[in-house]
Amino acid sequence: MPLPTNEDAPKRNWTVLPLLEWTERYLQERSFEESRLNAELLLARALRLPRLGLYLQFDRPLAAGELAVFRALLLRRMTHEPVQYILGETEFMGLPFEVTPAVLIPRPETEELVEEAIRWLKSSGSAEGSILEIGTGSGNIAVALGKFLPGARITSLEKSGDALEVARRNCARHGLGNVELLQGDVFTAGFDGQVFDAVVSNPPYVPEAEFNRLQPEVRDFEPRLATTDGADGFRFIRRIADLACGLLRPGGGMFLEIGYGQADAAGRIARESGLTGVGVQKDFAGIDRILRGFAPGGIPSP
């Protein structure tokens, strides 16, 4: 793979704007998405500035040391390492989160899952209820629920100890006392007769057969445990729908993120598990993304 060399980036006195423009073009020519944003994030990190601070310093000359740091960051990106792992940080629902290669990078469509769960919890009078979240990862869903529903109690389950460490640091960073993080396997975990108002999850749902077709950023860098279920893509959906039916109070809600093309089968699974009011909501890209279903016996709520 061609890497930035002095020939590509002739030795000269670089200032911020020309270096941004050069990097944007360099990434674009090599088919990297969001090339300008990537260039800005990496340069801002090299210069220890907030991203928008670059716009106030377009004529700032780079010291040799700063240029060397920037080159090293860009070389990492050229291997397809996601920019969020390079920076060690990302945003989810306007909140900052530490991310490491032990955790999935939170996605914008998952924000819609959380917003939908919050909307329903509030409208059904359960804003101070108990929520089970499955597959903690960085803790993005658990932290966002804990932050935006300060009266709720969130129990969050994760199999990977390394991911749970990251989630612990993110909970501490946001000063949350209403989130309990548990290490465990959703296929064997027992919940001691606990009853929840909602079950929320963004489970691994990429079918094993599709794993090798994922973008290199995902396939080669994000945890395999977080992306594929090692089966047909529905292993977790089946398990969580069954669990939800047993753990939810009457009328309690299950909210699951699902993958492209999974809506019909996932809806069938939820109904066969005994959930009622099953439906699927589209994400901002128009893709069926959020599966919801309700434990029988409650008063229907919007």
Binding site for ligand SAM (CB under 6 A): 104, 106, 110, 135-137, 140-141, 157-160, 163, 185-187, 202-204, 225-226
Return the structure tokens found at 249. Answer: 């109070």
Rounded to the nearest whole angstrom, what is the least distance from the CB of residue 210 to ligand SAM in the complex?
14
Rounded to the nearest whole angstrom, what is the least distance from the CB of residue 302 to ligand SAM in the complex?
25
Determine the 3-state secondary structure of 42 from DSSP.
helix
Q: 40 or 288: whose CB is closer to ligand SAM?
A: 288
Q: 63 or 231: whose CB is closer to ligand SAM?
A: 231
Cβ contact 278:272 at 8 Å: no
Rounded to the nearest whole angstrom, what is the least distance from the CB of residue 284 to ligand SAM in the complex?
16
Q: 16 or 225: whose CB is closer to ligand SAM?
A: 225
Rounded to the nearest whole angstrom, what is the least distance from the CB of residue 214 to ligand SAM in the complex?
13
Residue the block writes with tokens 């050069």: 22
Rounded to the nearest whole angstrom, what is the least distance from the CB of residue 186 to ligand SAM in the complex?
4
Rounded to the nearest whole angstrom, what is the least distance from the CB of residue 297 to ligand SAM in the complex?
27
Long-range Cβ contacts of 164-167 (<8 Å, 24+ apart): 164/136, 165/102, 166/98, 166/99, 166/100, 166/102, 166/103, 166/137, 166/138, 166/139, 167/103, 167/136, 167/137, 167/138, 167/139, 167/142, 167/143
Q: 20 or 199: whose CB is closer to ligand SAM?
A: 199
Q: 70 or 205: whose CB is closer to ligand SAM?
A: 205
Q: 35 or 262: whose CB is closer to ligand SAM?
A: 262
- Buried b / exposed e over 219-250, threshold 16 CB at 10 Å, is bebbbebbbbbeeebbbbbbbbbbbbbebbbe
Residues contacting residue 293 through CB under 8 Å, at least 6 positions apart? 241, 244, 253, 254, 270, 271, 273, 275, 276, 277, 278, 279
